[in-house]
Structure 1
Amino acid sequence: MDRESVRDAERVPHGGTTDRDVLDLSANTNPRSPPGTTAVYDATLAESRRYPDDDYAEFREAAATVVGVDPDQVVPTPGGLAAIRLALATAVDPGDRVAVPAPSFGEYAREVRLQDGEPVFLRPEAVLDVDPGDFAAVVVCTPNNPTGALPDRSALVALADRCADAGTRLLADEAFLGYTGQASLAGHDAVVVARSLTKLYGLPGLRAGYAVATGAAREDLATARRAWNLGAPAAAVGAHCLRQHGFVRETRETVRRERRRLRDGLEPSFEVHPSAAPYLLLDCGDRDVDALLADAREQGVVLRDARTFRGLDSHVRVAVKNDDTTDRTLEVLDVRPDDA
Structure 2
Amino acid sequence: MDVEHRHGGNRASIATRLGCRPSDLLDASASLVPWTPRLPRLSRSIIRDYPDRSHNLLRCDLARLHGVPCELLLAGNGAAELFTWAARDAASSGPSLVPSPGFADYSRALGCWDGPWVRHQLPLSWSADRPQPIPQTPEAEVLWICNPHNPTGQLWSRASLEPLLRRFRLVICDEAFLPLVPDGEHQSLIPLVAETGNLVVIRSLTKLYGIAGLRLGYAVAQPERLQRWAQWRDPWPVNGIAMAVGQHVLSSTRRHQRWCRKTQAWAAREGAWMQQQLAVLPGITPMPSAVNYLLIRANRSLLPLREALEQHHRILLRDCRSFEGLGENWLRIGLQSRRNNRRIVSAMRKELSRTPLG
Match of 1:123 in 2: 121
Mean alpha-carbon deviation: is it higher for 316-325 or for 221-230? 221-230
Structure 1 residue 32 displacement after superposition: 1.0
Selected match of 1:222 from 230, 234, 241: 230
- Alpha carbons of structure 1 residues 276 and 321: separation in structure 2 relative to 1, 3 Å: same
Does residue 201 in structure 1 map to residue 209 in structure 2?
yes
Q: Find the aligned partners of 1:24 and 1:229 in 2 and give their Cα distance.
A: 27
Match of 2:19 in 1: none
> Quick check: 1:77–1:225 contact (8 Å CA) kept in 2?
no
Question: What TM-score does the superposition give when structure 1 sets the normalisation length?
Answer: 0.86
- Alpha carbons of structure 1 residues 299 and 57: separation in structure 2 relative to 1, 3 Å: same
2:279 is matched by which residue type in structure 1?
A: E
**Percent of residue pairs identical:** 30
- Alpha carbons of structure 1 residues 11 and 158: separation in structure 2 relative to 1, 3 Å: farther
Does residue 15 in structure 1 map to residue 8 in structure 2?
yes
Does residue 303 in structure 1 map to residue 296 in structure 2?
no
Does residue 257 in structure 1 map to residue 276 in structure 2?
no
1:24 is matched by which residue type in structure 2?
A: D
> Quick check: 1:24–1:303 contact (8 Å CA) kept in 2?
yes
Unaligned 5+ runs, structure 2: 13-21, 123-130, 351-358
Question: Which string of whole-angstrom CA distances, capped at 9 and with x for unpartnered residues, describes residues 66-87 of structure 1?
Answer: 3332111101111011111111
Match of 1:322 in 2: 337
Q: Find the aligned partners of 1:23 and 1:241 in 2 and give their Cα distance.
A: 26
Match of 2:172 in 1: 171
> Quick check: 1:45–1:233 contact (8 Å CA) kept in 2?
no
1:206 is matched by which residue type in structure 2?
A: L
> Quick check: 2:279–2:286 contact (8 Å CA) kept in 1?
yes
Does residue 275 in structure 1 map to residue 289 in structure 2?
yes
Map 1:153-168 → 2, pairs under 5 A: 153-163=158-168, 168=169
1:323 is matched by which residue type in structure 2?
A: R
Match of 2:17 in 1: none
What SS class does the counterpart of residue 195 from structure 1 fall into? strand
- Alpha carbons of structure 1 residues 12 and 99: separation in structure 2 relative to 1, 3 Å: farther
Unaligned 5+ runs, structure 1: 1-9, 336-340
> Quick check: 2:120–2:135 contact (8 Å CA) kept in 1?
no
Structure 1 residue 43 displacement after superposition: 1.8
- Alpha carbons of structure 1 residues 49 and 215: separation in structure 2 relative to 1, 3 Å: closer
Selected match of 2:348 from 330, 333, 337: 333
Q: Find the aligned partners of 2:44 and 2:321 in 1 and give their Cα distance.
A: 40
Does residue 102 in structure 1 map to residue 103 in structure 2?
no
Structure 1 residue 327 displacement after superposition: 0.8
CA RMSD in angstroms comes to: 2.3
Does residue 31 in structure 1 map to residue 18 in structure 2?
no
Match of 1:150 in 2: 155
- Alpha carbons of structure 1 residues 129 and 309: separation in structure 2 relative to 1, 3 Å: closer
2:108 is matched by which residue type in structure 1?
A: R
What SS class does the counterpart of residue 206 from structure 2 fall into? coil
Map 1:174-189 → 2, pairs under 5 A: 174-180=175-181, 181-183=183-185, 184-186=188-190, 187-188=192-193, 189=196
Count of residue correspondences: 316
Structure 1 residue 245 displacement after superposition: 2.0
Q: Find the aligned partners of 1:170 and 1:12 in 2 and give their Cα distance.
A: 29
Question: What TM-score does the superposition give when structure 2 sets the normalisation length?
Answer: 0.82
Q: Find the aligned partners of 1:92 and 1:11 in 2 and give their Cα distance.
A: 28
Structure 1 residue 20 displacement after superposition: 2.2
Match of 2:74 in 1: 75
Q: Find the aligned partners of 1:249 and 1:316 in 2 and give their Cα distance.
A: 28
- Alpha carbons of structure 1 residues 157 and 179: separation in structure 2 relative to 1, 3 Å: same
Question: Which string of whole-angstrom CA distances, capped at 9 and with x for unpartnered residues, describes residues 69-106 of structure 1?
Answer: 21111011110111111111133139x41100110101
> Quick check: 2:26–2:316 contact (8 Å CA) kept in 1?
yes
